[in-house]
Structure 1
Amino acid sequence: MVVSDSDPSESGTIFRVKGPLEFKCQLDSTDASLMHKVISRTFETLRSQVKSDSFVLTVCESPVIIWPNRGAYATPEEITPDTLCEDIQQWIKTDEQESTSKKSAKKKSKKISAANVINLRLMMEVTRPGPLSAPTLNRTVQKLQLLCTTLPMDCVVRTTCSDTIRVACERLLEELTHQLYEMEKVTLQHMKGTALLVPEPLHFLLPEPKGLVTVVYPAGVPDSQLETHRKELHQRFELPEDRPYFRRANAYHFPNEAYKDGYLRNPHLVLTHPTLENGKLYLVQGIYSYHHYMQDRMDDNGWGCAYRSLQTICSWFQQQGYVERPVPTHKEIQQALVDIGDKQASFVGSRQWIGSIEVQAVLDQLLGVTSKIMFVSQGSELASKGRELANHFLTEGTPVMIGGGVLAHTILGVAWSETTGQIRYLILDPHYTGAEDLQVITDKGWCGWKGPDFWDQTAYYNLCLPQRPKSI
């Protein structure tokens, strides 16, 4: 298991190197110890390749090429080994480098702030300059077993504003070499007969001051079989054993990578927080997806707001690694309520509303998650619930579903002043029917801070407060 001290939250530049290394070895014996020796020699050959002059790093979306084992020699010639790492950024083509006509025609869109990540591609020079020699051909008849796979190298290092390319290359070579050692350990440990499990590097962002660490897991082995490994990691990094940090779902998502499912993540991060006298922020912890009307080719406009709020909550438990099941569909939610005897069979496929009590029941049935219910007889009382909501986000950190009358919303946090009692609610509104446009969603208040007058002062409300399971 590889560990890196990189931390996206700190200043500086993150260099991330990805690329395949071809693993090929010939086995002429089925003896386990002999096979292990051959595999280890193959990994040693790969480590030699990483240290060879033909090893090349190319900076993605740029003309920059670096030969780290040739004194960090690079092209274009303006780049020297003593060039500062952060200066590489100017060579990278970005969305902002559109034509001036496009720039003037379009309003600059909001983006969730992220670390300055420079992506590099791992490559090997196939040919070297020099005179060509005549080809020779040798033929050997022998019965061998060939093991072939592709190692998905993925290393990160954090550089400071004063680090040069030479320094970054030295650290990247150390990380790549170390990652190959860790891949060798995982390969040998999980080898079954002559079947190889591909070692899979994943990055995890831990609480401060630990930062970003890299762990190598065997691909194809489920999280349920890696609990011993995770416990060792929790002990090594002095992490509590009541919440998951190293499940695959917790892997750090780099800002340049698009989410394949198309949902927005954590739109609240671009918002400006309200200022209250002696006020403090208490926010959702971790990552969730924004689920709202009209997604998934489902026309639930006018009846599906609580379903969407429940989906947002389920996405939180999925993306924190507590559950592996996908976010449930409307029909799956309805079927769960039928299965526990809460609804009749005709409820499945209907357009009937659900409320906080049903959300609590579905979370328990489908995810095994318990929830507390907060009853509020009229909306005006919500202004006095600051302490309870602050404590929830501080200790549990899960999204809260609130239902009242015919409306449901998701509460993602509160800004609350213990001295004055002032409170603002961070609301994610499932009634939005548009596209996944962060600019529109935040500018129009579909995700935004609301005051106590947001609630109907005379209507009753039930709040479903999901509880965080204790597991690693």
Structure 2
Amino acid sequence: MVVVESDTTILLRVKGPLEFKCQLDLTDALLRQKVISATFEALRSQVKSDSCVLAVCNSPVIIWPNKRIFATPQEITPDTLCEDVHQWIQTDEQETSGKRSAKKKSKKSLSMSVVNLRLMTEVSKPGPLSAPVLSKTVQKSHFLSTALPMDCVVRASCTDTIKDGCERLLEALTHQLCEMEKVMLQHISGTTLLVPEPLHFLLPEPKGLVTVVYPAGVPDNQLETQRKDLHQQFELPDDRPYFRRANTFHFPNEPYRDGYLRNPHVTLTHPSLDNGKVYMVQGIYSYHHYMQDRVDDNGWGCAYRSLQTICSWFQQQGYVERSVPTHKEIQQALVDVGDKQTSFVGSRQWIGSIEVQAVLNQLLGVTSKIMFVSQGSELASKGRELANHFLTEGTPIMIGGGVLAHTILGVAWSETTGEIRYLILDPHYTGAEDLQVITDKGWCGWKGPDFWDQTAYYNLCLPQRPKII
């Protein structure tokens, strides 16, 4: 297990397969274990050998870390700073504009930058090749060949050199091979082995980024004992799922495959209130709004979209494994609990906070509290209750009133003055997944008390966290 501090200047991430090949005896279990351990020892030696190569992705930079940090181009030396590698990396902006110069600095802030490297092995060797020697052995055995998906991350500060970074990467690779060996030996059954799977998790401050090796293909519900051990090791509470696969860290340079925006609020500036504090949603959610998923719900689907945002939060925090429900699945759930007639499925009828509460319980097993507000002007007095919700539960809140529904992601509240601002995610947006438009136009933004209809009544659905590992 490798821990990377979260106040990272640069994350150096190396990925690549290592070929795991061995011949397993069909009868002797102890001999099989010895062969597996010997194979891993050979792989650790390979990582430490001169043939080990680290290639910086999207750049001409290639490094031989065990040859006194020999590298190409020649400008790269062991004393080159890790952050200077950025000038050699081809950015997406350069590709789309047709510029091919690799020596252009990225405009991205280095405070959260990632340098991706490929783990490779040099197969050609200088000098004359020796003649091959063939031998024949007759025995009953099982030949195993698989690729180990190496994936290591280390931290580099702005003063660290390539030599420093390479030393840490090699140490991390060696350690990960040891962890993979443990997992493979623990889950061996006859001649069947499970491939180890390295995953990264971002833990609360000050623990930072942690790499854990799981057996691939084993579902989360069978890894609870291992997760409990991890919680004890890192002194984490046992009522929140920090180490489920859904909690794996998403690197900032990787796109989400489903196309939804995540956490658009993180780019916003917090409002400044006199003696005020900010209380925010905890974790990751997807922004669901009108007209997504090829569904024309403009004018009637805002509460459905707010509910989908809430469901995405529970999914991406590892509390549930099911996908975000569609409009029809939401409607069917309300029919199943007896809240609606069968004709409701496929209709364009609105739902409100009470229905959202029922669906969360039916589909996700999540309970919710309901806050009733007789008129919008009373919302300004709910600062303490809303702040406490985000402090303890940290889930998005659905609020419905009149014919509108919104998602509340946080509050800025002053206990001394009572002044309050609400962080609103608006499901009524109908445009593309354009973060700048969404934040500039206020579809995700901080709103004052006058945002609510002062005379309309509102119901708020406050989902509660399940108490699970």
Q: Same fold (TM over 0.5)?
A: yes
Change (3 A) 1:315 1:59: same
Match of 2:411 among 405, 411, 414: 414
Change (3 A) 1:426 1:112: farther
Which runs of structure 2 are paired with 1:26-425 in the superposition (5 Å)?
A: 26-97=23-94, 115-135=112-132, 137-138=134-135, 140=137, 142-425=139-422
2-structure distance, mates of 1:186, 1:434? 47
2-structure distance, mates of 1:23, 1:399? 45
Change (3 A) 1:407 1:84: same
2:461 matched to 1:464? Answer: yes
SS in 2 for 1:78: coil
SS in 2 for 1:209: coil
After superposition, give the CA deviation of every residue in 1:272-320 in whole Å (9 maximum; x if it has no partner): 1111111110000000000011111111111111000000000000100
2-structure distance, mates of 1:80, 1:312? 48
AA at the equivalent of 2:230: L
After superposition, give the CA deviation of every residue in 1:357-408 in whole Å (9 maximum; x if it has no partner): 0000000111111100000111111111111111110110000000001110
2-structure distance, mates of 1:137, 1:232? 48
1-structure distance, mates of 2:280, 2:56? 37
SS in 1 for 2:251: coil
2-structure distance, mates of 1:114, 1:308? 33
After superposition, give the CA deviation of every residue in 1:97-155 in whole Å (9 maximum; x if it has no partner): 468799xxxxxxx9999711111000001111222444555555554311111110000
Deviation (angstroms), 1:170: 1.1
AA at the equivalent of 1:237: F
Change (3 A) 1:101 1:60: closer
2-structure distance, mates of 1:114, 1:304? 39
**Which residue of structure 1 aligns with residue 2 of structure 2?**
3
2-structure distance, mates of 1:330, 1:259? 22
State whether residues 84 and 163 of structure 1, in contact with CA within 8 Å, keep that contact through their aligned partners in structure 2: yes
Deviation (angstroms), 1:31: 2.0
State whether residues 112 and 269 of structure 1, in contact with CA within 8 Å, keep that contact through their aligned partners in structure 2: no
2-structure distance, mates of 1:448, 1:155? 36
1-structure distance, mates of 2:233, 2:16? 29
Higher mean C-alpha displacement, 290-299 vs 127-136 = 127-136
Identity within the alignment, %: 82
Match of 1:19 among 9, 16, 21: 16
TM-score of the superposition, structure 2-length normalised?
Answer: 0.95
1-structure distance, mates of 2:233, 2:51? 37
SS in 2 for 1:38: helix
Q: Which ranges of structure 1 fall in alignment gaps of 5 or more residues? A: 103-109
State whether residues 205 and 252 of structure 1, in contact with CA within 8 Å, keep that contact through their aligned partners in structure 2: yes
- Root-mean-square deviation (CA, aligned residues, Å) is 1.8
Q: Which ranges of structure 2 fall in alignment gaps of 5 or more residues? A: 100-106
State whether residues 203 and 210 of structure 2, in contact with CA within 8 Å, keep that contact through their aligned partners in structure 1: yes
2-structure distance, mates of 1:15, 1:355? 47
2-structure distance, mates of 1:315, 1:195? 36
State whether residues 30 and 194 of structure 1, in contact with CA within 8 Å, keep that contact through their aligned partners in structure 2: no
**Which residue of structure 2 aligns with residue 105 of structure 1?**
none
**Which residue of structure 1 aligns with residue 102 of structure 2?**
none
SS in 1 for 2:2: coil
Change (3 A) 1:47 1:361: same
State whether residues 9 and 110 of structure 2, in contact with CA within 8 Å, keep that contact through their aligned partners in structure 1: no
SS in 1 for 2:15: strand
1-structure distance, mates of 2:188, 2:317? 29
State whether residues 114 and 255 of structure 1, in contact with CA within 8 Å, keep that contact through their aligned partners in structure 2: no
**Which residue of structure 2 aligns with residue 427 of structure 1?**
424
State whether residues 183 and 196 of structure 2, in contact with CA within 8 Å, keep that contact through their aligned partners in structure 1: yes
2-structure distance, mates of 1:203, 1:30? 37
State whether residues 425 and 449 of structure 1, in contact with CA within 8 Å, keep that contact through their aligned partners in structure 2: yes
SS in 2 for 1:465: strand
Higher mean C-alpha displacement, 163-172 vs 409-418 = 163-172
Deviation (angstroms), 1:190: 1.0
State whether residues 112 and 270 of structure 1, in contact with CA within 8 Å, keep that contact through their aligned partners in structure 2: no
TM-score of the superposition, structure 1-length normalised?
Answer: 0.95
**Which residue of structure 2 aligns with residue 106 of structure 1?**
none
2-structure distance, mates of 1:45, 1:249? 33
Deviation (angstroms), 1:28: 3.2
Q: Number of paired residues?
A: 462
AA at the equivalent of 2:92: D
Deviation (angstroms), 1:95: 3.2
SS in 2 for 1:403: strand
Deviation (angstroms), 1:73: 1.1
AA at the equivalent of 1:327: V
SS in 2 for 1:416: strand
Higher mean C-alpha displacement, 304-313 vs 270-279 = 270-279
After superposition, give the CA deviation of every residue in 1:234-285 in whole Å (9 maximum; x if it has no partner): 1111111111111111111001111111110000001111111111100000
AA at the equivalent of 2:173: L
State whether residues 360 and 464 of structure 1, in contact with CA within 8 Å, keep that contact through their aligned partners in structure 2: yes
